[in-house]
Every structure is written in C-alpha cells, then in structure tokens.
Structure 1
Amino acid sequence: MKKILPIILVIVALIVVASLTFGIKRTKTVDWEESFNEKSNKPYGTSVLYKELPNLFEDYKLRTVYHQPSSYLTANSEFGYGDHHAKGNYIIIGNSDYLTDFSVDKLLEFVNTGNTLFISDYYFAQRIHDTLSIDVDFEYNSKKDSISHLSFQNKNLNAITIDKNEGDYFFSSFDSINYTILGHAKTDKKRVNFIRVPFGKGNILLHTEPKAFTNYHILKDDRYRYVESALSYLPDDNVYYDSYAKRQTPYGDAEQESNLSWFLDQLSFRWAWYTALIFMLLFMIFNAKRRQRVIKIIKPLQNTSLAFVKTISNLYIETQDYKNLIDKKITYFLEKIRTDFNMDTSKLDDDFIKKLAGKAGRKKEDVSQLMNYIKWLRTKDELSEQSLIKLNRFIEAFYSQ
C-alpha cells in the first residue's frame, strides 16, 4: 500500500495540473432569471447600471436601500433617528411587488415634499394603481423575432430595439390630461410605456420595461443610450437605489454574499481551490486508513415514510408542476391555521390578518405580507420555482419566530 500511494498522488497531481494548464472547457448554461440584482453580473442583473449611477449623478450621494421604504424613509425623515434627511430620487428596478401599502404611502409622502420616485416594472403595487388611477396591460408579440421597439416622446432622445421579448407591458388607462407621456413600446402597435405623474411638489416616473436597464441590454450595441435618456428625466440629486427584494430574508434583513463567491467564479482560482480540497481529502483518507481501526457500519432502519415523501416530491419537481405544489402548500398552511388558532380562512382580509397576528403573536406587517403574497399567488395560472421557494420562506419565518 505504501508503494502504491505515491503513484496515486502523482497521477492525481498530473491530472489536476494538466486541467489547469489547458483549461477545463465545459458548456455553461446562461441563467436568464430576471433578478434585477445590483450585485449580479448575469444577463438580467443590474450590476452595470448600479456601477454607472455615480457617473450619471456625479457629485451626488448614491445609497442602496436594503429595507422596506416605510422603515427607511421614516428613520431618515426630518424627525427620524437616521443619519440623514432623505431627499432626492428613489429608484426601483423590477420586483416592486413587495411594496406594502404603508411603504407606498411613505413613498408618496416622499414625492409630495418635492422628491422624485422612478419605478420600472411590469406591474406596480395595487395601492399605486388605485391612487394614481392607472392600469397596465400586456400585448404578446405576434412576430417570431421577439423584438420590441422602445422610443421616447421627445424625438431627440435615443430609441432602441430590444430582443428576447415576448411582448410589451403598457399603460392601458391613465389620466392623459394631467399625466405626461414620456415614451412608447411597439411590437404590433405603439403603446405608452413611460409616463410622468405630478404628485404634490414632486413627480412619479413609471416605466413598464425593466429589462431595458439590465446588463444584457446595456452592454449590447448602443442600447445604454436609452437608459441614459430615461434617467435624464430625473433631477440632479441624491439617489436611493432599492435592493430590498433583490437580496433578502422573508422579512427584509439583507443576506450577505460569501467572500468566496467571487473566487469560485474565476476558473483558475476555482480549480486551485478544488485541487487543495482533493489533496486534503486524499490525505485524510490514507491517514485514516493507517491510524484508525475498521469500524463496522450498522445500517439504520430505513424510514419508508420519508422515502415516500421524497418520491412524491421528486415526482412534482421532475414535472415542474410548481403551481400544484404551491396550491397544496397554501391549502395545508391554511388548514394548520384553522386547526391551531380555530379561525375561518375563507376571507384573508384585514380583519383576519389582525386576529391572526394577535393569536400567533406576530407583527401585523409580517402577517399582512404573507397573506398578500398568498392572494397574489392564487391569481396566477403559472408559477416558477422561485415563487415556491419564496412562499416556503415566508411560511417558515411565520412559524420560526
């Protein structure tokens, strides 16, 4: 055994060195998830926009907001306990469905005092729709090229063509007298997709194509000019960039990225790390064989119930029937509410939320966020794996407190 060990180690070392020398090429699947995360370098992340904002708003402060606007703007108000008085431009790119009614009210107060709110998303919080009397609709692209044309009402600004677009979201209803049309989207028909809404002393800018602000489109050809033109409607002032829904726990605490993640994204560093782990594992294996007696393995009794659950779970996952899984999870969760708290779950209204929060000893805002998300899920015909994961996190957080 002692003679064979050095040979094995040499062979492994040669394989690793050859791999690092000539490079290990493998097919890499592109992640097209629309995360709109300012730290993400993936196609539909917004790291490029985030890095360029200090150049677009030169001499002004850029702050990243990892909390609900309600708590952040309250803390940094004139009489708040924050480190400054929030004034300027509040920017939200995608994933704005997290906004609670309280957060929308705080954002409207922020605008009312002379500031600007910019939101680019497919849909907006219902409170925004109701307050501003707007409706958003969707038009499928009848052509096979999945191309949409984005332009501005001001012909001097840069229009672009974006690809990988199934269709366009547009404003189907708004106050055309008091609101200003800033831009359009066109697949088969020209539709309004960018408006400015005066509110108090400030303005609200609403845009319905957040993909235009992602890495993929900013770095392709001269499409970055469209982003520059869109943001030119914002006044020169401090910028508050929303990151609450991009990187968070179910109740809003920012999750920190691992410091090792950047190194693992680099091919040389990644394989150097794997090499170290391989040699460490080999050392432990051969060292353990020399010093430790053989321990008899006693197989535990098999848990057939757990195996059955795993089999059923795998069946759902393989068929990617996330909608069915989400419906069942909601049903079981509401059944547990009925059993544990003896409550009627047929209406998930404000009265129900208030009673459940009192009985369960939870914050009303947390319970409201969970129930609003359940009601939103019920309106969708198709759901993704991310929606299932997010629901699971909400439910686990509800019972873990």
Structure 2
Amino acid sequence: MKKILPVLIIIVSLVVTASVAIGIQRTKTVDWEESFNEKSNKPYGISVFYKELPNLFKDYKVRTVFHQPGSYLRANSEDSYGEHVAEGSFIIIGNSDYLENDSVDELLNFADAGNTLFISDYYFSQKIHDTLNIDVDYILNEKDSISYQSLKYIDIESTIIDKNEGDYYFARFDTINYHVLGHSKIDYKHVNFIHVPFGKGNIYLHLEPKAFTNYNLLKEERYKYVEGLISYLPENNVYFDSYAKIQTGYDGDVEKESNLSWFLEQLSFRWAWYTAVIFGILFMIFNAKRRQRIIKIIKPLQNTTIAFVKTVSNLYFETQDHKNLIDKKITYFLEKIRTDFNLDTSALNDEFIERLAAKTGKKKEVVKKLINYINWLRSKNEFFEENLIKLNKHIEAFYTT
C-alpha cells in the first residue's frame, strides 16, 4: 500500500490539473434552442412562466398534463374513471405539432363544452387549421431581428421580441366571427392573436411563443405582454401541457430528472466527480486487500448433558435410592419403545414380547428375559443394588444383540 499511495497521488493530481485546465479553456456557450420546456432554465425554456402560473391563478388548481390531451381529457370527463372532471383552461406553449387527431378532437370538445383552449405556437396541427378554417403564413425580417408585439384591447406599450428572423401571422381566418386581439409588426401589422368562439367555450390562438420564454419574461418589462395574453383566460382551473412527455413518450408517466444532471453537464465538475468516484472505489479495493478486522475466536458451547446425567446418577447412587433408579430406567425404556416402535406398553405379556421381537429384530429369548425381569421388578417393593445392575445388563443386552 505504501508503494501504491504515491502513484495514486500523482494520478489524482494530473487528472485534477487536466480538468481545471479544460474548464478554463472551455468557452461557455449559451443554448438558444427553442425547447419551450417548462423545466428548462435556458433562455428559450419556459420555467419562469410555468412557476408563475400558481400565482396568476391563486385560488385555482394548476395541473400539469403528462399524457396526450386526448387520453387525459377522456379519463377526466364526466362519468369516467379520472380523479376529477376537467374544467377550465388548457394551455399549450410551443410544440403543439405533436398533437394526434384524437387529442385535437378532445381539445375541441373540451372547448365546445364551455371551457377555454389557449395555444401559442408558430403553426398548429393540420386538423386545427381545417376545423377552424385558418391559414398561417410567414414574413421574413429583412432589416434586423426585431419585431413588435401589441394587444388590441389592452393598454400596454408594444413589446419587442428580438433575435427574431421573421414573424408568423394569420393569412386567412373568419373575419366576421373571429376576433382580432393582437398584432405583430415588422414592416407593417399582421394579425398574430385571435379569439375563436367555439360552441359554449373559447379558443385563443397566438403565433409568438417566444414571448413566454425565460429570456423575454426576464428582460425589461416584456412580462406585461404575457400578462395581457393570459388575462383573456377566465378565472378557473388550469391544465398545462407538459413538454417533458414529448421527450419521454406521452403515453406513460414522466421520469423526474436527476438533481445531479445539471452538474454533470459542467465539464470540470464531471471530471472531478468521476475522478472522486473512481479513486473512492480504488481506495476501498486496496483497503479491503490490506486490512481485515480481527476475527474473534468463539469457543463452541460445551455439551453438559453427560456431566448432568453423571451428577444425577451419583446423587441417586449415593443416597442408595435403588427403587427410584429402577423405576426411572423402566419408565425411560418403555417410553423409547413407544416412541421408536409405536407399541402399546400398558400390558407386558407374551403377545407384547412377540410383537417387540418382531419389530426390533431381536432374539425372542433376549426380549423375553428383559420383559419378564421388568414384570418381576414391578411386583417387588424392596430393591437392592444387584437388582439395578441386573436390569441394566438386560437393557444393554437388548440394544447390543
């Protein structure tokens, strides 16, 4: 162990030095992927908005939907097997193109029953386009990367969305029955937020989901624009469609991400962590080889049965209580006959002698002498040492012959 220790120290030093050097040289980059993941703290995740939902709807239940909306809403409909009846507002931010046709049908039924569907995305499921008779188009931002977002009936200033290569807008919709609630502007205004009355309920479609991201909510006063969008939703329970189900499969439960995962994404920490684990294992292996706890010597328990028998025998012999010893020897012998050979010992007659000899395979003369002597002893009231010795000889002859 003494020879290995310096080598281990050198290896640890080299690994730690290398990990620190890599960490210093590594240029930190920002991930601008538009995931719209409610668990992501990256610029285009929506964890800030997701965490604020309970504050925006203080007196109501905010539930996260980790399944396809179709299966979830069917399960939580009247006379179904869900834990509650789904009523309120269903919110989808980004990634709505994963919706299957049966989920779109259930969402439309949900709205038709008097509830609210709110979707903010660049485009929607084709079934939504066909059902609501809408078309979405795109205009490229040729001057810079800035567009302006405004709401028609809410008194707030236009909100800037930067890092924006272009805008999506509604190129076709029912201008008589649908209500225009907001615009985006690059060169001129385009409708990007509409209200669709649907049955007894309402559908709100919005075309700039980046407004809900961490980057925009935490920059200047852009959160006011999102507050304006959400203000159209009624005061009721909220069902938030989770992005996580798209990553893990939306037919099952979503696994929670490990708390260690963020640290393992950091290169320096990952090197340090793996180094610590590897050398912890090596330390245990070498320690196990070189050290062993002292094994305590446990003496086996002594068999005191023979000593006890000798002590009791000596006690009876010293007191010259031959009658007691003879009675006990007869009792113990007959008990063994009953236990080993399942014979009735209540009548020690000729029939018993023949049956005992047959079952034990002993000579009939030996068995007869022993049983006759036992019967003779039982008829006596006074005993001597010779009687005890003779009984013992007969019993030993029975077991040895």
SS in structure 1 of the partner of residue 170 of structure 2: strand
Shift of residue 260, structure 1, vs aligned partner:
2.7
How well do the aligned residues superpose, as a CA RMSD in angstroms? 3.0
Shift of residue 102, structure 1, vs aligned partner:
1.4
Q: Do the aligned partners of 1:60 and 1:237 also contact (CA within 8 Å) in 2?
A: yes
Q: Greater Rg, structure 1 or structure 2?
A: 2
Opposite residue 180 of structure 1, the aligned amino acid is H
Shift of residue 247, structure 1, vs aligned partner:
3.9
Distance in 2, Cα, partners of 1:289 & 1:275: 21
Q: Structure 1 residue 151 and structure 2 residue 132: aligned?
A: no
Distance in 1, Cα, partners of 2:260 & 2:211: 30
Distance in 2, Cα, partners of 1:187 & 1:72: 39
Q: How does 1:67-82 map to 2 (within 5 A)?
A: 67-82=67-82
Distance in 1, Cα, partners of 2:70 & 2:168: 27
Q: Structure 1 residue 194 and structure 2 residue 229: aligned?
A: no
Q: Do the aligned partners of 1:193 and 1:207 also contact (CA within 8 Å) in 2?
A: yes
Give CA-to-partner distance per residue, 1:330-375, whole Å, 9 cap, x none: xxxxxxxxxxxxxxxxxxxxxxxxxxxxxxxxxxxxxxxxxxxxxx
Q: How does 1:304-319 map to 2 (within 5 A)?
A: none
SS in structure 1 of the partner of residue 205 of structure 2: strand
Q: How does 1:1-400 map to 2 (within 5 A)?
A: 3=3, 5-14=4-13, 24-25=23-24, 26-143=26-143, 145-154=144-153, 156-243=155-242, 246-250=245-249, 252-256=251-255, 257-264=257-264, 270=270, 273-280=273-280, 283=283
SS in structure 1 of the partner of residue 128 of structure 2: helix
Quick one: percent identity of the two aligned structures?
68
TM-score by length of 2: 0.65
Give CA-to-partner distance per residue, 1:31-69, whole Å, 9 cap, x none: 222111111111111111100110111111110111111
SS in structure 1 of the partner of residue 279 of structure 2: helix
Distance in 1, Cα, partners of 2:7 & 2:195: 69
CA spacing shift, 1:254–1:166, aligned 2, 3 Å: farther
* Structure 2: segments with no counterpart, 5+ residues: 291-401
Shift of residue 172, structure 1, vs aligned partner:
0.4
Distance in 2, Cα, partners of 1:199 & 1:63: 23
Distance in 1, Cα, partners of 2:107 & 2:9: 64
Distance in 2, Cα, partners of 1:97 & 1:17: 46
Give CA-to-partner distance per residue, 1:193-239, whole Å, 9 cap, x none: 00011011111000001111111111112111111111111111111
Q: Do the aligned partners of 1:67 and 1:244 also contact (CA within 8 Å) in 2?
A: no
Shift of residue 283, structure 1, vs aligned partner:
4.7
Q: Do the aligned partners of 2:245 and 2:254 also contact (CA within 8 Å) in 1?
A: no
Shift of residue 23, structure 1, vs aligned partner:
11
Give CA-to-partner distance per residue, 1:111-134, whole Å, 9 cap, x none: 111110000011111111111111
Distance in 1, Cα, partners of 2:214 & 2:7: 46
SS in structure 2 of the partner of residue 188 of structure 1: coil
Shift of residue 267, structure 1, vs aligned partner:
8.5
TM-score by length of 1: 0.65
Distance in 1, Cα, partners of 2:19 & 2:142: 48
* Structure 1: segments with no counterpart, 5+ residues: 291-401
SS in structure 2 of the partner of residue 216 of structure 1: helix
Q: Do the aligned partners of 1:153 and 1:181 also contact (CA within 8 Å) in 2?
A: yes
Q: Do the aligned partners of 1:96 and 1:245 also contact (CA within 8 Å) in 2?
A: no
CA spacing shift, 1:273–1:247, aligned 2, 3 Å: farther
Shift of residue 265, structure 1, vs aligned partner:
5.5
Q: Do the aligned partners of 1:96 and 1:125 also contact (CA within 8 Å) in 2?
A: yes
Give CA-to-partner distance per residue, 1:301-328, whole Å, 9 cap, x none: xxxxxxxxxxxxxxxxxxxxxxxxxxxx
Distance in 2, Cα, partners of 1:33 & 1:210: 13
Give CA-to-partner distance per residue, 1:247-283, whole Å, 9 cap, x none: 4445532441234314435789656523412414655
Count of aligned pairs: 288
Distance in 2, Cα, partners of 1:21 & 1:129: 53
Distance in 2, Cα, partners of 1:80 & 1:155: 40
Shift of residue 108, structure 1, vs aligned partner:
1.1
Q: Do the aligned partners of 2:36 and 2:243 also contact (CA within 8 Å) in 1?
A: no
